[in-house]
């Protein structure tokens, strides 16, 4: 029987560092709300973890194009790879009404790092 070696590395920064660096970028982009989910929200992030981030902002862009500019700015600001989902306020509100899928994940483990008044 062969041994299995689990390779791990510490996260390159803390959750508070992520919040401190990401929030100004999100505000500058016009984000109304941002929710971290996944390993960073669960406190299980390591050096190989990406940052799962859902962002709510007004945009007329098609879904595939929404995250491009914001992702580039977040990549400059953060020492971790960002996996970004961008929703309009209407899409997010509709998703919150769905008890399943990714919005259930946001409810169960998400940590809100930004919520601007509307």
Element (H, E) at 87: strand 82-87
Q: Do the domain assignments include residue 83?
A: yes
Distance from the Cα of residue 75 to its chain's centroid = 12
Quote the number of domains for the chain: 1
Percent pLDDT > 70 in the chain is 94
**Residues 48/12, Cβ–Cβ less than 8 Å:** no
Q: What is the pLDDT of residues 57-113, one digit of tens each?
A: 999 999 889 999 899 999 999 999 999 999 999 999 999 888 888 899 999 999 999
> Who contacts 41 (Cβ-Cβ below 8 Å, separation ≥6)?
52, 109, 110, 111
SS3 115: strand
Q: Do the domain assignments include residue 110?
A: yes
Give the C-alpha separation, 67 to 96, whole Å: 20
Residues in the chain: 118
pTM score of the predicted model:
0.88
Backbone φ/ψ region at 72: left (φ over 0), alpha (ψ -120 to 50), beta: alpha
Q: Which domain holds residue 45?
A: 15-115
Q: What is the mean pLDDT of residues 44-63?
A: 93
Q: Do the domain assignments include residue 107?
A: yes
Q: Do the domain assignments include residue 72?
A: yes
Q: Do the domain assignments include residue 9?
A: no
Q: Do the domain assignments include residue 109?
A: yes
Please report the pLDDT score of residue 63 as a whole number.
84
Q: Do the domain assignments include residue 2?
A: no
CATH of the domain at 31: 3.30.460.10
Q: Do the domain assignments include residue 1?
A: no
**Residues 81/50, Cβ–Cβ less than 8 Å:** yes
């Amino acid at each position: 029987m062969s041994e299995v070696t689990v390779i791990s590395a510490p996260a390159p920064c803390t959750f508070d560092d992520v919040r401190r660096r990401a929030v100004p970028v999100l505000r500058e982009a016009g984000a109304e709300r941002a929710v971290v989910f996944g390993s960073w929200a669960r406190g299980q992030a390591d050096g190989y973890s990406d940052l799962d981030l859902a962002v709510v902002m007004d945009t007329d862009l098609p879904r595939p194009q929404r995250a491009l500019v914001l992702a580039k700015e977040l990549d400059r600001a953060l020492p971790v790879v960002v996996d970004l989902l961008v929703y309009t306020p209407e899409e997010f509100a509709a998703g919150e009404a769905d008890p399943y899928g990714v919005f259930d994940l946001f409810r169960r483990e998400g940590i809100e790092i930004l919520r601007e008044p509307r």
